[in-house]
Structure 1
Amino acid sequence: MLPAYGLYTHIRSNEVRSRGLVLGLFVLNVVLAYGLALVVRATGGALPAGAVPGLPAYLRAAWHDLLWAGPLAVAATLVWLFVAFHTHQALIAGVVGARPATRLEAPDLHRLLETLCIARGLPMPALQIVDDPALNAYATGLNAQQYAITVTTGLMAALEPREMRAVLAHELTHIRNDDVRTMMLAVVIAGIFAFAADGAWRADLLRDRIQDGSRRAGALPAMLIGAALIALAWGFSQVTRFALSRTREYVADAGAVELTKDPDALIAALLKISGRGDLARAPAGVMELCVDNPRRGFLGLDATHPPIEHRIDALVRYAGGRLPWGA
């Protein structure tokens, strides 16, 4: 599937890039803080004593604010991450309706995952079930003590054992490759931008004060630049999330084939999942963690997963997989 460099080289380079992207989200936080400072300065009309009103004055004043607002923004992000670290599992389970999958309820599921973990040399993550007819699965957690794999009852009913084994191997590869931790960090940090942008809008920073600010020299351009920076930070945070998701699905598919030696099983599972994976109660951030995310916006530009047909094509071309007869 990755003929040019091999699976492990791709995983290493992907991990370096992913950590750089997550670090970049912190940089975007500072950009967001400067944009907010610029909007607040322009809408409030406050400038340092003796400053001549104009765009340069507002830019300098906002830069001065950034000297304390920047570290505060980074600190707020770290606090946000600390809270998310301790609460994300319970929050996701509560929103989606996941519950522990006992060995009595799902013995085959436990047996399949145990075999895969032994083969991979990994501690076994917790197993959870969501009562939902959708066909999907996802992995969550930020460390070995928190990792969990969740499957829907719809998936359990639709897949044969070897197909379920391939899906579990896909999710286990996400855990092994640190995909789960990196993606959850990216989703959590990116949520800050949506929260801040929405807060600024609801506080009427941009709606009701532009007319008043336009009467002061340089205030309107400063407001527009600040709004543009806020939009830029939010936009790049979303692009970062999409970039992290799309390439990792191919790597996880390759890892599942490497572990199971059965590309046909994964192809069969993906064909069944295609178009049937939308979890009704799952927010966008959770859908990004799933085997497939069918939710796509305008022209698919915000798709977090590559199309399933592209993933199947890669399995056929590079992993020796075969399409079922009539597919």
Structure 2
Amino acid sequence: MNIVRTAMLLAFMTALFMGVGLLIGGKGGMMIALLVAIAMNFFSYWNSDRMVLSMYGAKEVDERSAPEYYGIVRDLAKRAGLPMPRVFVINSEQPNAFATGRNPQNAAVAASTGLLQALSYEEVAGVMAHELAHIQNRDTLTMTLTATIAGAISMLANFAMFFGGGNRENNNPLGFIGVLIAMIVAPFAAMLVQMAISRTREYSADKRGAEICGNPLWLSSALKKIAVAAGRVPNDEAERNPATAHMFIINPLSGERMDNLFSTHPNTENRIAALEEMARGMQARSTEPVRADNPVRKSRSVPTTGWGRGGSEPPKGPWS
């Protein structure tokens, strides 16, 4: 089903790309756009994850350079039955995270320095479990391909200002009006992507992430902190590349917090409510309470010591 969904989305994005080419350069522009789209689809399948990571200046870390952060991802991946993804850190004050990669065997997770500084050990585990859920659900291929192609559509539409509407013979069938339409399409290209990517995947990743880490309240607590901080701390790189906004656990763009048709993410309060309801259900089935500060764990794969525990000092890492 995910393969069919991805193919349909790519077909739609390719058609949109060709439409912008038609408005700028007529049939010739459309054919060039088609060839570019085919090449881009092929290139993006193999390289879109690297492009997104490079766009945000992500630096890869390992067990030596970031033992606690890396260890969380390693242990959660083991619990989820996933191959170990590559682990990255983004130098950004806005707390946020995303996952990328064409399949679980070629996946990567990235967390910002702001997230690793602001969140407790358990909350980081909840966030990374959410990202691993996207990998397990194979959302990442759709997310990264869409981000790449949508960015190209916006760039192509912006080129319209350098064209004068074409000649009468062939080019743009709508003349200057066509170029104007193409220019108007650019600001809405990212919005079209947001509509194309189903927001239900966030609820699904929240649920599966809570199952992976063992406690829904870890993630709900993290979402509360991230949502508040993301609204105050700008993410300049995301603002320059809005087509990638849907990849993050919380919308990194300013002024987009409404749960409406054009939002990349469900309303955060709704997500938190769903996780808290899940926690109540787990508690009802258990003889012991599920608590955010000292949750019941059936597995000790995620260490019970670390930052956020008993007033201990934050562990040393790349975010220190």
Note the 1:70-109 alignment, pairs <5 A. 70-85=30-45, 87-109=47-69
- The one of 168, 175, 178 equivalent to 1:226 is 178
Residues 142, 221 of structure 1: alpha-carbon distance in 2 compared, 3 angstrom cutoff: closer
Equivalent positions of 1:42-53 (< 5 A) are none
Matched residue, 2:21: 33
Distance 1:227 1:203 in 2: 7
CA separation of 1:90 and 1:179: change in aligned 2, threshold 3 A: closer
Q: Which residue of 1 aligns with 2:108?
A: 148
Alpha-carbon offset, residue 77 of structure 1: 0.8
Deviates most, 80-89 or 165-174? 80-89
Q: Distance in 1 between matches of 2:257 and 2:62?
A: 41
Query: Size of the alignment, in residue pairs?
Result: 276
Q: Tell me, what secondary structure is at the counterpart of 1:139?
A: strand
Distance 1:280 1:310 in 2: 27
Q: Which has the higher contact order (CA 8 A, sep 6+)?
A: 1
- Percent of counterpart pairs with the same letter? 29
Q: Answer 1 or 2: which has greater helix percent.
A: 1
SS at match of 1:288: helix
Coordinate RMSD, CA, aligned: 3.5
Opposite residue 203 of structure 2, the aligned amino acid is Y
TM-score (norm 1): 0.71
Asked if 1:289 is matched to 2:242, the reply is: no
Query: In the TM superposition, what is the alpha-carbon distance from 1:70 to its structure 2 partner?
Result: 4.5
Residues 230-276 of structure 1 deviation map (CA, whole Å, 9 limit, x = unaligned): 46865774344113163322221111122223111111111111132
CA displacement 1:71-126 (0-9 Å, x = unmatched): 54222112223444555455444442321112122212222212221222211111
- Kindly indicate whether the alpha-carbon contact (under 8 Å) linking 1:117 and 1:123 is maintained by their aligned counterparts in 2: yes
Cα distance in 1 for residues equivalent to 2:186 and 2:158: 10
Query: Is contact 2:216–2:278 with CA below 8 Å preserved after alignment?
Result: no
Partner of 1:306: 266
**Corresponding residue SS for 2:229:** coil
Is 1:21–2:12 an aligned residue pair? no
| One-letter amino acid matched to 1:292 | I
The aligned counterpart of 1:256 is 209
Deviation at 1:293, TM superposition (A): 1.4
In structure 1, runs of 5+ residues without a counterpart are 1-11, 39-64
Q: Which amino acid aligns with 1:33?
A: G
SS at match of 2:228: coil
- Structure 2 letter corresponding to 1:205: G
1:272 alignment counterpart? 225
Going from structure 1 to structure 2, the CA distance change for 1:280 and 1:225 (only over 3 Å counts) comes to closer
> Is the CA contact 2:129–2:213 (under 8 Å) kept in the aligned structure 1?
yes
Matched letter for residue 26 of structure 1: T
Give CA deviations for 1:176-231 in whole Å, capped at 9, x if unaligned: 2221110111121222321221111122339xx9xxx8xx9xx9993366347646
Cα distance in 2 for partners of 1:20, 1:158 equals 39
SS at match of 2:175: helix
Larger Rg: 1 or 2? Answer: 1
**Do 1:297 and 1:303's aligned partners in 2 also have CA atoms closer than 8 Å?**
no
**TM-score normalised over the length of structure 2:** 0.72
- Aligned partner (choices 229, 246, 250) of residue 199 of structure 2: 246
The CA distance in 1 between the partners of 2:183 and 2:256, in whole Å, is 18
Which AA in structure 2 matches 1:140? T
